[in-house]
Chain A
Amino acid sequence: EDQVTQSPEALRLQEGESSSLNCSYTVSGLRGLFWYRQDPGKGPEFLFTLYSAGEEKEKERLKATLTKKESFLHITAPKPEDSATYLCAVVMGANSKLTFGKGITLSVRP
Chain B
Amino acid sequence: NAGVMQNPRHLVRRRGQEARLRCSPMKGHSHVYWYRQLPEEGLKFMVYLQKENIIDESGMPKERFSAEFPKEGPSILRIQQVVRGDSAAYFCASSLRTDSYGYTFGSGTRLTVV
Chain A residues with a Cβ under 8 A of chain B: 4, 32, 34, 36, 41-46, 49, 87, 89, 91, 95-103
Contacts and interface: CB of A to CB of B under 8 A. Distances in A.
Interface of B: 4, 6, 31, 33, 35, 40-45, 48, 55-56, 59, 91, 93, 95, 98, 101-108
Nearest to B91: A43
Contacts, number: 57
B108 A98 contact: no
Given A96-B56, A97-B33, A101-B42, A42 B108 contact: yes
B101 A97 contact: no
16 contacts: A34-B103, A36-B105, A41-B107, A43-B4, A46-B103, A46-B104, A87-B43, A96-B31, A96-B33, A96-B55, A97-B48, A98-B33, A98-B43, A98-B45, A100-B42, A100-B44
